[in-house]
Structure 1
Amino acid sequence: MSMLRKPESSEYASHFGAYVNLVPEGRLVELLVEQSEQMKSMLERVTEEQGSFRYAPGKWSLKEVLGHMADTERVMSYRLLRVARGDQTMLPGFSEEAFVAGASFDQQPLKYLIEELAVVRRSTLSLLNGMPVEAWLRKGNVNGAETSARALAYVIAGHELHHCRVIRERYLSAVR
């Protein structure tokens, strides 16, 4: 499993391609572990005040980005579970804007949001580490598109890679 191949473009909706393409071939599970460690290290010196920083009007705060990352990984991991187990129920989409608006992330302590992201990742890794080989290629209906379990795992990794870059370039560079 450590050399899991990237999914084919036919295994996911086209809008997921940007995330899948960010992930290097190979060591997916190891990358997910490394990402969690890198995120914690990247954020360890961020202050509570910096967590409320928005790089432009109408943009999410850093806290909201972290909350969005945890929420999205939860949703994608749930979808992955359903698909990997062979469930053929159509899984609906979700509104990231509605999730962030309904969460009050700015009122939560930054350290809680950082820990929540780490806990969600540990849960995802637990799911992936227990999956039988054949489950990775199973497909289900995710928001109207046939999607494989491995594609969802790659989306999780790519989504974090995307947001790590945004955090470095738009948030941390401005507050340090």
Structure 2
Amino acid sequence: MIKIGRPNLNDAPSWYKYFFDLAQGDDLIEALEKNKQDTLDLIASIPFNLEDHSYAEGKWNIKQVFIHLCDEERYYAYKAFCLSRQTNVLLEIPMSENYTKNFNVSGRSLKDIAWEFITVRNATISLLSTMNLEMLDFKFPDENPYTARSLGWFAVGHNEHHSRLVRERYL
């Protein structure tokens, strides 16, 4: 297995830099593993009575935040998979009103959502850890600025961003 270093800033939209800066380390697989454990530790620290807590009206509750992380990671991993196979599938970040409302958290516990996160993250790690450099860094010359490497690092930073928000605004 190769070490997957930091992304090239030219391999993603300029606004990804914020998320790349949040991602710690210099090896993607190690960063994904550490971030997974940090996220699970955060989830375990949340009291049961706060699972449905939202810090303001109209904002997601804690369970919705972690479902969002699972959903987005699935999206980034699929996009990374397509790029690694040199398949130009134009996938825009889904931001419709229904997408951000249909989390289906009723009746679900944070423990259940943590299990889902583990499953999704392990699949991401499995996918990215089997790619060679050509697969990790393939980029279409046109409108698609991403690489599988940049999407993997973005997943770590995106997760860290929302974990920080949970710590600062929800707890």
What's the TM-score, normalizing by structure 2?
0.89
Q: C-alpha distance in 2, partners of 1:24/1:78?
A: 23
Residue 149 of structure 1: how far off its partner (Å): 1.2
Q: C-alpha distance in 2, partners of 1:148/1:97?
A: 28
Larger strand fraction of residues: 1
Q: Secondary structure at the match of 2:15?
A: helix
* Cα displacement string for residues 94-141 of structure 1 (whole angstroms, at most 9, x for unaligned residues): 117532312222442221111111110001011011112221111148
Residue 79 of structure 1: how far off its partner (Å): 0.3
Residue 75 of structure 1: how far off its partner (Å): 0.3
1:165 aligned partner: 164
Q: Secondary structure at the match of 2:46?
A: coil
Q: Cα–Cα, structure 1 residues 149 and 99, in superposed 2: closer, same or farther, change >3 Å?
A: same
Q: C-alpha distance in 1, partners of 2:96/2:22?
A: 20
Q: C-alpha distance in 1, partners of 2:141/2:12?
A: 10
Aligned-residue sequence identity (percent) comes to: 27
Q: Cα–Cα, structure 1 residues 83 and 60, in superposed 2: closer, same or farther, change >3 Å?
A: same
* Cα displacement string for residues 49-73 of structure 1 (whole angstroms, at most 9, x for unaligned residues): 2110111111110000000000000
Moved runs in structure 1, 4+ residues, more than 4 A?
A: none
Answer yes or no: is the 8 Å Cα contact 1:53–1:171 preserved in 2: yes
Q: C-alpha distance in 2, partners of 1:169/1:96?
A: 27
The residue type equivalent to 2:158 in the other structure is H
| Structure 1: unaligned runs, 5 residues or longer | none
Residue 19 of structure 1: how far off its partner (Å): 1.0
1:149 aligned partner: 148
The residue type equivalent to 1:48 in the other structure is F
* Cα displacement string for residues 22-50 of structure 1 (whole angstroms, at most 9, x for unaligned residues): 22351221011011112112221423321
1:34 aligned partner: 34
Residue 153 of structure 1: how far off its partner (Å): 0.7
Aligned length: 170
The residue type equivalent to 1:27 in the other structure is D
Q: C-alpha distance in 1, partners of 2:43/2:123?
A: 20
Answer yes or no: is the 8 Å Cα contact 1:64–1:105 preserved in 2: yes
Q: Secondary structure at the match of 1:105?
A: coil
2:108 aligned with 1:108, yes or no?
Answer: yes
**1:37-116 matches, cutoff 5 A:** 37-95=37-95, 98-116=98-116
| Structure 2: unaligned runs, 5 residues or longer | none
RMSD: 2.0
What's the TM-score, normalizing by structure 1?
0.87
Q: Cα–Cα, structure 1 residues 7 and 45, in superposed 2: closer, same or farther, change >3 Å?
A: closer
The residue type equivalent to 1:19 in the other structure is F
